[in-house]
Amino acid sequence: MLLPRHATVGNWSFGQICEHLAKMMNGSIDGLDFQAPWFARWFIAPLMKNSMLTKPMSPGFRLPPNAKPVLPSDPVSPESGLQQLKAAVERLQQEAPRASHPFLGKLASEEWMQLHLRHAELHLSFFVAS
């Protein structure tokens, strides 16, 4: 697979970005092995849910240490990351997300898809052709 010349302006490579997005997409189907603290899920998440689904995400959010399973490997080639992302997107076309979100809790499939699009919008904004 031939990829165009590219650069990233964030902390992760293109391959790492794709792998991270793929892990979150697969996690929306299989479940994720971490949760936000109870007070964040019960009190903060309900206030932020609509904005997270409908507005661009802000960069700079740091995942907690228990979210390590969705962090990218080091290193990840562009080809490998893109292959993982394509497979996750294809899987989402066949299987509906059914797992609870670690922060927002139970989401409808359409809400998961909105969240995936917002998440991809954020991370792919760090990818620039060179």
* Residue 92 confidence (pLDDT): 98
Q: Could you report the per-residue pLDDT of 73-122, keeping only the tens digit for each? A: 999 999 999 999 999 999 999 999 999 999 999 999 999 999 999 999 99
* Residue 130 confidence (pLDDT): 77
Domain positions in the chain are 12-56+76-129
Give the Cα separation of 109 and 99 in Å (integer). 9
Give the least confident one: 39-43, 60-64, 94-98.
60-64
Residue whose C-alpha is closest to residue 23's, from 64, 68, 75, 62: 68
Beta-carbon contacts of residue 89 (< 8 Å; ≥ 6 apart): 25
Q: Could you report the per-residue pLDDT of 12-38, keeping only the tens digit for each? A: 999 999 999 999 999 999 999 999 999
pTM: 0.94
Residue whose C-alpha is closest to residue 25's, from 95, 108, 125: 95
